[in-house]
Structure 1
Amino acid sequence: MNTPSRHLAITLQPPDKQLLQNLCGPLDENLRHIETHFNVAVARRGGQLRISGNAELSALAAEFLQNLYILASQPLSLEDLQQNLIEMNHRTQESTGQAIEPTEIEPKRSKSLHGHTPNQAAYLKNIQTHDVTFGIGPADTGKMYLAISAAVDTLARDEVKRIILVRPSAEKFCCLSPWELSQKITPSLRPLYDVLHDLIGFEKTTKLCKKQQIEVSPLKYLQGRTLNHAFIVMDEAQNTTPQEMKMFLTRIGVGTKAVITGDINRINLPAGEKSGLVEARQVLTGVSGLAFTDFSADDVVCQPVVMRIVKAYKKHGAATP
């Protein structure tokens, strides 16, 4: 039987503006993380908090906030918040035999999530510090792989509730039957699954997809949705139209990060159709909260033998009249 929803109001005591500020974080960022962890909504008015959601989880969130408030003599970092959430989860499990279900992915250590080139390092920094990040450049520069790595790491830390990976390449199949659609779409989305399998394995990928914590789909199926507390990655963005790009960007909701990757030299659109990625670069440069990272051939990372093969073909092509 489902636990009923509940609206719970609490007043943090004793009244202290500094404690309240330390607890809530800049722009109530800590409250947003707590919302994500407990799957509740928290509204604040001064020292009064209104918590809405599942009754049991609302009560746990209220208890957590009241206990954390007393400890907030200093500003609370995300690491402090995460550690306290883990400790509460352990206490809950010991007393009730149940715990708030954690994500089944171990967070990556900071050293394992890094770039091999200066542009890759800057890209990861942009993803960390911006709501929307564009990665533009040639293939094999790590644009998609690093974006999905960051998404997996963010989900593992309970900073988001789900990962959504999309590509526009399957759009032309949208009028087929469901069975025909699955047969056409699956190969076009396979590169996204390949990265997930490499990062967390086949079994965890399958399990998280079944639980809808990871969603892999054509871009078309984001239309009409508002995506809160998610990490969204769009690959092959050079093959969006301006309308599709605008639709994607306006799906971003509360607590959501988005990364858009593409190569403007590999546009596969009908003649005369403008790329949404090209237009986005023109329209959005300088907009607050967005970042652009440009990759070049110097950022290509692959096996040495592959590099030698590419160079050999390039040399052959230059010598052939």
Structure 2
Amino acid sequence: MAKRSNIRRISAEFDANDYFEDAGQIADLDLLERKWSPDDKPRRAKKHEKTPKHHNNNEAPNGHTHHTREQRYVKNIIPRTDGQAKLMEAIDRDNLVLALGPAGTGKTYLAIAKAVEALKAGRVGRIVLCRPAVDAGENIGFLPGDMEDKLAPYLRPLYDALADRLPAKSLKSMMAEGLIEIAPVAFMRGRTLNNAFVVIDEAQNCTYMQLKMLLTRLGWNSSMIVTGDPAQSDLLPELSGLATAAERLEEMEDISVIRLAKEDVVRHPLVARMLNTL
């Protein structure tokens, strides 16, 4: 009798503490014959009992598992202004294009979009993006890390534009394979860029001699787009060479100089209005 009372007391305590998932499981147990003890685990469900199935996030209701698919970027670039239409036509026609205009006119985005389009179509073998590492009037000191870490803040706008045109996995693999290269101006001396689509961004922060060096890197079966805003140079006015280079090259054949205006701004409407005031 003492043994039965102890067993009832212990089972009542475990039942009160919700040790079992179902209170009816206690009635199914033969406590004396099975020599049940509090250390025993709750019984497993019987074979004839059905347990609810839990579908994971990748399992469809019909039982088929569909794998996570990579996001597709099937955006067709359509010019939104007359100036952008002229720029896109010039990129398709000439091997060297200089796009000058205020902020928000889509110079960099259109150039990188055309570069990705040419690479996908097989017209070029690689993309080379170049940008001067110049602070916007504020020196934050030495940056930690290796060369790539130090240059990452300056090249961030190029990464953003590429990420908008390519899936993350494709962008990472292309950069690892060398199909897409992002380089600062300081390391372009002596190179010959054959079978490449070259984009030189923020060229207003290049001196005249730097621009001359960059423009003469153009090789066979290559295209080069130079973008910048002469009115927003972080250099002294007499040091920036973009406006001078554009004036001298504008008269040459097979070279297009596209000058965008505030009417071509596709950013926030306030940007175009501020350009008239600032």
From 169, 172, 190, the equivalent of 1:206 is 172
Percent identity over paired residues: 34
Aligned to 1:32: none
TM-score by length of 2: 0.67
Aligned to 1:116: 80
Q: Contact (CA 8 Å) 1:107, 1:153: kept in 2 or not?
A: no
Compared with structure 1, are the counterparts of its residues 227 and 309 closer, same or farther at alpha carbon in structure 2 (3 Å cutoff)? closer
Compared with structure 1, are the counterparts of its residues 246 and 178 closer, same or farther at alpha carbon in structure 2 (3 Å cutoff)? farther
Q: Contact (CA 8 Å) 1:107, 1:156: kept in 2 or not?
A: no
Aligned to 2:217: 251
How big is the shift at 1:219? 1.4
AA matched with 2:115: A
1:290 matched to 2:252? The reply is no
Compared with structure 1, are the counterparts of its residues 181 and 279 closer, same or farther at alpha carbon in structure 2 (3 Å cutoff)? same
Greater relative contact order (Cα 8 A, min sep 6): structure 1 or 2?
A: 2
2:272, 2:265 → 1: CA distance? 11
AA matched with 1:290: I
Compared with structure 1, are the counterparts of its residues 115 and 285 closer, same or farther at alpha carbon in structure 2 (3 Å cutoff)? same
Deviation digits for residues 52-85 of structure 1 (CA, Å, limit 9, x no counterpart): xxxxxxxxxxxxxxxxxxxxxxxxxxxxxxxxxx
1:148, 1:107 → 2: CA distance? 14
Aligned to 2:120: 156
From 91, 105, 130, the equivalent of 1:141 is 105
1:284, 1:246 → 2: CA distance? 11
Aligned to 2:269: 307
1:160, 1:107 → 2: CA distance? 20
Compared with structure 1, are the counterparts of its residues 223 and 308 closer, same or farther at alpha carbon in structure 2 (3 Å cutoff)? closer
Compared with structure 1, are the counterparts of its residues 108 and 250 closer, same or farther at alpha carbon in structure 2 (3 Å cutoff)? farther
How big is the shift at 1:286? 1.2
1:277 matched to 2:239? The reply is no
2:84, 2:189 → 1: CA distance? 31
1:174-185 equivalence runs, <5 A: 179-185=145-151
- Secondary structure at 1:164's aligned position in 2? strand
- Secondary structure at 2:152's aligned position in 1? helix
Q: Contact (CA 8 Å) 2:265, 2:272: kept in 1 or not?
A: no
2:188, 2:206 → 1: CA distance? 13
In structure 2, list runs of 5 or more residues that go unmatched. Answer: 1-71
How big is the shift at 1:184? 2.7
Compared with structure 1, are the counterparts of its residues 125 and 314 closer, same or farther at alpha carbon in structure 2 (3 Å cutoff)? closer
AA matched with 1:244: Q
2:275, 2:113 → 1: CA distance? 31
1:154, 1:309 → 2: CA distance? 31
1:1-12 equivalence runs, <5 A: none
Compared with structure 1, are the counterparts of its residues 310 and 278 closer, same or farther at alpha carbon in structure 2 (3 Å cutoff)? closer
TM-score by length of 1: 0.58
2:272, 2:132 → 1: CA distance? 28
1:308, 1:221 → 2: CA distance? 38
- Secondary structure at 1:194's aligned position in 2? helix
More strand by share: 1
How big is the shift at 1:308? 5.0
2:224, 2:235 → 1: CA distance? 23
RMSD between superposed Cα atoms in Å: 2.9
- Secondary structure at 2:227's aligned position in 1? strand
1:228 matched to 2:228? The reply is no
In structure 1, list runs of 5 or more residues that go unmatched. Answer: 1-105
Larger CA Rg, structure 1 vs 2: 2
The aligned length equals: 204
From 170, 173, 185, the equivalent of 1:219 is 185
Compared with structure 1, are the counterparts of its residues 108 and 260 closer, same or farther at alpha carbon in structure 2 (3 Å cutoff)? farther
Deviation digits for residues 125-165 of structure 1 (CA, Å, limit 9, x no counterpart): 00000010011000110000000000000000100000001
Q: Contact (CA 8 Å) 2:73, 2:167: kept in 1 or not?
A: no
